[in-house]
Amino acid sequence: MSDAIADAKRALRAELRERRQCMSESARDAAARGIAAQLDALVASVGARSISCFLSTSTEPGTRDFVDAAVARGIRVLLPITRNDGLLDWAVATPGGEITEGSLGLPEPVGELLGPIAVNDVDLLVIPAAAVDRSGMRMGWGRGFFDKTLGSMERCPPVYAVIYDSELLDEVPRDVHDQPVTGVVTPTQTLVLSPARR
């Protein structure tokens, strides 16, 4: 990655992180309700019976209510678990399942570890992002877990990044390893941005 791209990403991430930290609790709660409604509609439109989704941190658009409701409806939900080699293991979400703080301080499920290839069987991937641009290019938080996952999948189902409305940008800095997404889910809308991402 060139220094200019790295610097641009670092600056944009810092701005987005600060914006997220300044949100009020009521704004976060409203966003989480919107995200749950949008994701429910997306799962129904795709006809997904098995999905992957991340467990949101306190500043991310909330996904936990959606995960709980999906599990209660009988949808198989795989939750990511970070590994030291930069890949993701997966665990199946369970009703009232225990959540712990993972090695990077991220919320992760406690349960049987499934290997990185477990995600190859899902109908839909729901992933975090710092921002996404209108061409479908996603900028993550710099650790590369989801870029590696998407880049290694043989048959990739639709991939939607969950962001706040203000994080859909005209353009994000990109490098060769960065992976696009099919679309975004925000508290107010679901947009298809790159339908032929693979």
Instruction: Determine the 3-state secondary structure of 100 from DSSP.
Output: strand
Residue 169 belongs to some domain of the structure: yes
Can you read off the two tokens belonging to residue 29? 């709660």
Reported pTM:
0.94
Q: Is residue 68 one of the residues assigned to a domain?
A: yes
Q: Cα–Cα distance between 28 and 35 in angstroms, integer? A: 10
What CATH number is given to the structural domain containing 162? 3.40.50.10420
Does a structural domain hold residue 65?
A: yes
pLDDT of the residue at 169: 96
End-to-end CA distance of the chain: 23
Can you tell me the distance from the alpha carbon of 146 to that of 140, in angstroms, rounded to the nearest whole number? 8
For residue range 45-98, list pLDDT tens digits in order: 999 999 999 999 999 999 999 999 999 999 999 999 999 888 899 999 999 889
The pLDDT value given to residue 84: 87
Asked if 47 and 20 touch (Cβ cutoff 8 Å), the reply is no
User: Crossing angle, helix 64-72 and helix 25-46, to 10 degrees?
Assistant: 40
pLDDT of residue 152: 86
Q: Does residue 198 fall inside a structural domain?
A: no
Return the pLDDT at 80.
96
Going from the C-alpha of 44 to that of each of 40, 48, 53, 93, the distances in angstroms are 6, 7, 15, 19
Tens digits of pLDDT across the chain (198 residues): 578 888 999 999 999 999 999 999 999 999 999 999 999 999 999 999 999 999 999 999 999 999 999 999 999 999 999 998 888 999 999 998 899 988 788 899 998 999 999 999 999 999 999 999 999 999 999 888 999 999 888 888 999 999 999 999 999 998 888 899 999 999 999 999 976 554
Structure tokens at 46: 């795709």
Per-residue DSSP letters for 35-55?
HHHHHHHHHHHHT-SEEE-PP
Flag whether 9 is in a domain: yes
Q: Whole-angstrom Cα distance, residue 94 to residue 129? A: 24
pLDDT score for 198: 45
**How far apart, in whole angstroms, are the C-alpha atoms of residue 67 and residue 76?**
10
Question: Which pLDDT value is given to residue 195?
Answer: 65
CA distances from 180 to 37, 44, 74, 160, 194 (A): 24, 23, 29, 10, 7
- The predicted pLDDT at position 196 comes to 57
- Domain-embedded: residue 162: yes
Q: Give me the number of domains the chain comprises.
A: 1
Full residue range of the structural domain in which residue 139 is found = 3-192
- Show the DSSP H helices in the chain as ranges: 3-21, 25-46, 64-72, 145-152
**Pick from 173, 85, 101, 94: nearest CA to 132:** 173
